Amino acid sequence: MINHKIMDYSSKHSKLLQFIFLLVVFLLLCQFITPSENNFLWRFPSLIAGLPYLINDSAEYLMFDWWPIEVYDPEIEEFEEKPLIQQVTRAISASILFIIGLIREIILGGVKTIVIFTSWDFVSENKWARWPALPWTVVASGAILLGYKLQGKGLAMLAGFSTIYIAVFGQWEPSMQTLSLVLFAAPVSFILGLSLGIWAYKNRKVELTLNPFLNVMQIVPQFSYLVPVMVFFGIGDHAGAIATIIFATPPMVRLTVLGLKRVSPEVIEAGRMSGCSNWQLMSKVLIPTASRDILIGVNQVIMQCLAMVVVASLIGAKGLGFNLLLSLNGLRIGQAIEQGICIVLIAVVLDRMSLAWANKQTDYFPVCLLSRSTSILSCLQHFS
């Protein structure tokens, strides 16, 4: 009888008994473990303390010694051995810098893009060889028209106020430098995230493989991306763009998978019954049906890109983030506030525009209401 009561009590209060047992073990360990560096119960030996040094040596070997190849050097007009990884990363960096510079010069003007295809002597001899800058009024008018098209007067007024504020306070050039970085990083993140999301949707094993990497990429602090990017790609706008792409891609992948999974099976079956191939089913049925979730992913990509503006400035990305960092280091509070407000305004305008685009519904079936004053002929003319 007593044993039955004990068993019944222990089953009802198992959590309490477990807590008491763990508390007793904790107190015994505190009482009997002697403080000593040689006692492994007091200080566990640092068995993998040398792992960071091993990683440093491995990265240095990859960048400067692994797989040397013959590369022609035009300066000395001879071939010389250079490591493969270094050449690949430098080629990627040069390509990214060229695209960012091209976008930047379309907005702000310049000669660097022309020099790439010609020379500095050609630009010096021909004063017309210069990319003209867009006036701020053109950029402001474009933003106002786009805002009006997407959501009406409210968004148009917000876009106009933001561009005028940026121009009046003298932050136009750094703001356009920041915008050029976003205009490169956001499309790349969108294409990469959409491609990986479609692949994960079509292959369950790919989704299970990607999930841990996506979790790590979203959990790891933003500063952690900077060191490996800086080691392999150097310092500058290209390094900031690569770090931004790494940070901004995971939300796009997840929202693409979510949107495609939410497509009704009836819609997919209707597409198959219509004779769609796999490509047609994806491009003309699944993606259009999941367009709202995918466009929400675009919105998140833009927001993540702007969230990296200040962080990317630590590895040489030009723009408002770099100027804000200098202002904070110099305790120039007024300039820091101006630049911070500019970043906020750009973020708000792009956020509102992308959300308005995501929420904009396409009317696939226009309805013609018949009334006493509406004839069948006018209705037919409406559809034609």
- Reported as type and span, the H/E element at residue 180 is helix 172-202
Identify which of 301, 25, 49 has the alpha carbon closest to the alpha carbon of residue 190: 301
User: What's residue 52's pLDDT?
Assistant: 81
CATH topology assigned to domain 169-359:
MetI-like fold (1.10.3720)
Say which residues have a Cβ less than 8 Å from residue 180's Cβ, sequence separation at least 6. 100, 103, 104, 107, 319
Amino acid at position 308, single letter: M
pLDDT for 253 beyond 90: yes
Q: SS3 string of 251-284?
A: HHHHHHHHHHHCCCHHHHHHHHHCCCCHHHHHHH
Q: What is the mean pLDDT of the chain?
A: 85
- For the packed helices 136-151 and 333-359, what is the interaxial angle rounded to 10 degrees? 40
Q: Where are the domains of the chain?
A: 64-125, 169-359
Amino acid at position 54, single letter: L
User: What's residue 172's pLDDT?
Assistant: 92
Q: How far is CA 304 from the centre of its chain?
A: 5
Question: Please, is 193 exposed, middle or buried when counting C-beta atoms within 10 Å of its C-beta (0-12, 13-18, 19+)?
Answer: buried
Residues 125-140 have pLDDT tens digits of 888 888 888 899 999 9
Taking 3-state DSSP, the helix, strand and coil percentages for the chain, each rounded to the nearest 5, stand at 75, 5, 20
pLDDT for 51 beyond 50: yes
Residues 314-352 have pLDDT tens digits of 888 889 999 998 998 888 888 999 999 999 999 999 999
Mean pLDDT of 171-192: 93
- Reported as type and span, the H/E element at residue 108 is helix 84-108
Which pTM does this prediction carry?
A: 0.81
